[in-house]
């Protein structure tokens, strides 16, 4: 499974895209990810547009699922990511090089907030790891601009406990 190559292809196909899920978390120091790719899009794409670009659209239990040609599931976000507006995700995204191509990934601050809000077992583990390895690199002014006061306090506690 080469998610880098898949991510580069997605970036080329969809243009205005930020990678936001576990794939992005790996770029920030998380060690494991599932076999899907979560993305934020600046403008909504219809399922027909995905199909025209060579993506496969399936209907599973009444829900439409988009997969790449090599079967990787893509989850698309066009409004917000864990409550953070997509425009803000784009404005704060980082650029990384993968296979000679620049792609955009969610910034560390938005990622930790999204993980904290999702709070599933895998998100808590990822958040612990991010606070441990990246706690000192968190830009608190950016966190304060995106998160509620209580969330900022909690996040500071996590970093104090783990880093």
Q: Which residues of the chain form contacts with other proteins (CB under 8 A)?
A: 1, 3, 26, 31-36, 60, 65, 71, 73, 116, 119-122, 124-128, 131, 154, 157-158, 160-162
Helix 149-162 to helix 121-134 angle (10° resolution) is 70
Decide whether 101 or 122 has the Cβ nearer to other proteins: 122
Decide whether 1 or 57 has the Cβ nearer to other proteins: 1
Decide whether 91 or 161 has the Cβ nearer to other proteins: 161
Q: Are 78 and 72 in contact (CB under 8 A)?
A: no
Shortest distance, position 157 Cβ to other proteins, whole Å: 7
- Exposed, middle or buried: residue 124 (CB in 10 Å: 0-12, 13-18, 19+)? middle
DSSP state of 80: E
Decide whether 100 or 121 has the Cβ nearer to other proteins: 121
Q: Are 111 and 147 in contact (CB under 8 A)?
A: no
Shortest distance, position 153 Cβ to other proteins, whole Å: 12
Shortest distance, position 70 Cβ to other proteins, whole Å: 10
d(CA 75, CA 23): 12
Q: Are 109 and 89 in contact (CB under 8 A)?
A: no
Shortest distance, position 73 Cβ to other proteins, whole Å: 6
């Amino acid at each position: 499974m080469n998610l880098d190559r898949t991510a580069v292809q997605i970036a080329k196909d969809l243009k205005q895209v930020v990678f936001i899920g576990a794939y992005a978390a790996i770029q920030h120091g998380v060690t494991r990810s599932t076999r899907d790719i979560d993305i934020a899009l600046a403008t909504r794409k219809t399922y027909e547009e995905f199909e025209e670009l060579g993506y496969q659209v399936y209907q599973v239990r009444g829900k439409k699922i988009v997969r790449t040609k090599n079967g990787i599931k893509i989850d698309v976000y066009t409004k917000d990511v864990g409550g953070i507006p997509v425009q803000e995700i784009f404005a704060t995204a980082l650029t990384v090089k993968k296979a000679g191509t620049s792609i955009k990934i969610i910034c560390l601050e938005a990622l930790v907030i999204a993980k904290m809000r999702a709070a599933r077992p895998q998100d808590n583990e990822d958040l612990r790891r991010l606070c441990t390895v990246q706690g000192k690199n968190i830009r608190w002014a950016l966190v304060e601009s995106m998160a509620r006061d209580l969330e900022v306090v909690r996040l500071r506690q996590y970093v104090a406990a783990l880093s």
